[in-house]
Amino acid sequence: MTTEPSPDPDAPTGLLDRARQDYRDLAARGLSLDLTRGKPAPEQLDLSADLLDLPAGRHTAADGTDVRNYGGLQGLPELREIFAEALQVPVEQLLALGNSSLELMHDCLVHALLGMVPGAESRWVDQERIAFLCPVPGYDRHFALCERFGIEMIPVPMTPDGPDMDVVERLVAENAAVKGIWCVPKYSNPDGACYSDGTVARLAAMATAAPDFRIFWDNAYAVHHLTDEPAEIADLLAACAANGNPDRAFVFGSSSKITMAGAGVAFFGSSPANVRWLLAHNAKRSIGPDKVNQLRHALFLRDADGVRAHMDRQRAVLQPKFEAVQRVLETELGGTGLAAWTRPKGGYFVTLEVPDGCAKEVVRRAAEAGIVLTPAGATHPYGDDPRDATIRIAPSYPGLADLEQAMLGLTTCVRLVGYEKRPAH
């Protein structure tokens, strides 16, 4: 965060008057802009236009497999090879599956609830209480899965190095009901933090009361850099194995924000035992993933260098948008004491912190002026941000001009609500 949010008690009333006038002007413009979700923009999807003609008549994988037919539960080897490096998973422990990593996280929860993960003493559904640690702010769809399955969520504060590991270590050590933790380790959703080597080492080594504890390692932004200094994170899977906890990590990834958001390929990587476990469950559910789409992706991306080159083109579209967000925030809110925000070096989001008790009202006022934001609170379990201070900004989808308009409008709402809530004196 660049500044600490604390309304300046000496701010002149003129600031509120100006904010009110700016808001009236904003509302009068009848905007219709959307900053809600981390959706790729059409220009980003255009970068993968070749996928719309591939596999161009081909239907045979490198190993001779007819990709059109049933089978191949592990996914196409040549595509798994392309992603093994970025996801830090040995290719033989990496599965290429459907079009969504969220589905894989859902299904891993289902299989742990209704089956037994390696190391478990019973099905999770048969236990009195199950809880997951939720670093906050975090990703609302992770929280929605827990809520849907009745898994209790325990918030853990995020730091710039990942979750507060003192808190994590204490909670997992003292309570066997704590079965997992949600992690977006690189360019985290929404605050863009990257887990430090120390955080990864402690996650891999920590003692857990539950023998079947799992780290849901949602490496959604593994190659989604916004600067010339791509973040590197430590290899969790290797660290877990080295610490005698080989089955602790479930690694998830996908090409949704690399190629096409709805028509990409999702990946699961883990220990050999966990991979066998998921394959055994998938064998009952599926006659194999869409291998034609996997061949399409392998032909298009070619290799890990191909992914890097492609992500440079993605960055060329995204970086100006993230810069515009910073520019508007700095120009409009810098020095006001009303806001602090993140400067992510990758990923899809900027976190904006407004004075306590203001986030919901800012989002409401913005919506009234035609600017839709992710609901305030969505970054916290049960939609409950106790400070009501966190707003997630998703700059990817709108065009640059729309984005600037939306950000200006948003900052107007922050000024309006911030100065309105400022204690009278």
DSSP letter at 2 equals -
CA distance 324 to 261: 23
Of 395, 356, 355, 400, give the one whose Cα is nearest residue 374.
395
The answer to whether 362 and 355 have CB atoms below 8 angstroms apart is no
Per CB under 8 A, contacts with a second copy among 232-291 are: 256, 260-263, 281, 284-291
| Nearer to a second copy among residue 51 and residue 194 (C-beta) | 51
CA distance 106 to 282: 13
Q: What token pair was written down for 81?
A: 């090879």
| Nearer to a second copy among residue 69 and residue 319 (C-beta) | 69
Q: How far is the CB of 151 from a second copy (least distance, A)?
A: 11
| 141 part of the interface to a second copy, by CB under 8 A | yes
CA distance 326 to 343: 7
Per CB under 8 A, contacts with a second copy among 148-187 are: 148-149
Number of residues binding to a second copy, judged by CB under 8 A = 55
Collapsing DSSP to helix, strand or coil, 351 comes out as strand
Per CB under 8 A, contacts with a second copy among 289-348 are: 289-293
Binding residue for a second copy, selected from 55, 137, 395, 409, defined by CB under 8 A: 55
| 70 part of the interface to a second copy, by CB under 8 A | yes
CA distance 22 to 357: 22
Binding residue for a second copy, selected from 110, 241, 317, 400, defined by CB under 8 A: 110
Q: What token pair was written down for 342?
A: 């993140």
| 192 part of the interface to a second copy, by CB under 8 A | no
CA distance 268 to 43: 28
Q: How far is the CB of 198 from a second copy (least distance, A)?
A: 33
* Max CA pair span of the chain: 78
Q: How far is the CB of 149 from a second copy (least distance, A)?
A: 6
Pairing of strands 266-269, 249-254: antiparallel
Per CB under 8 A, contacts with a second copy among 28-47 are: 37, 39-40, 42, 45
The answer to whether 300 and 259 have CB atoms below 8 angstroms apart is yes
| Nearer to a second copy among residue 66 and residue 368 (C-beta) | 66
CA distance 354 to 376: 11
Q: How far is the CB of 412 from a second copy (least distance, A)?
A: 29
Q: How far is the CB of 45 from a second copy (least distance, A)?
A: 4
Q: Report the interface residues with a second copy, using CB under 8 A.
A: 37, 39-40, 42, 45, 48-49, 51-53, 55-59, 66-72, 98-100, 102-103, 106-107, 110, 113-115, 125, 141, 144-145, 148-149, 256, 260-263, 281, 284-293
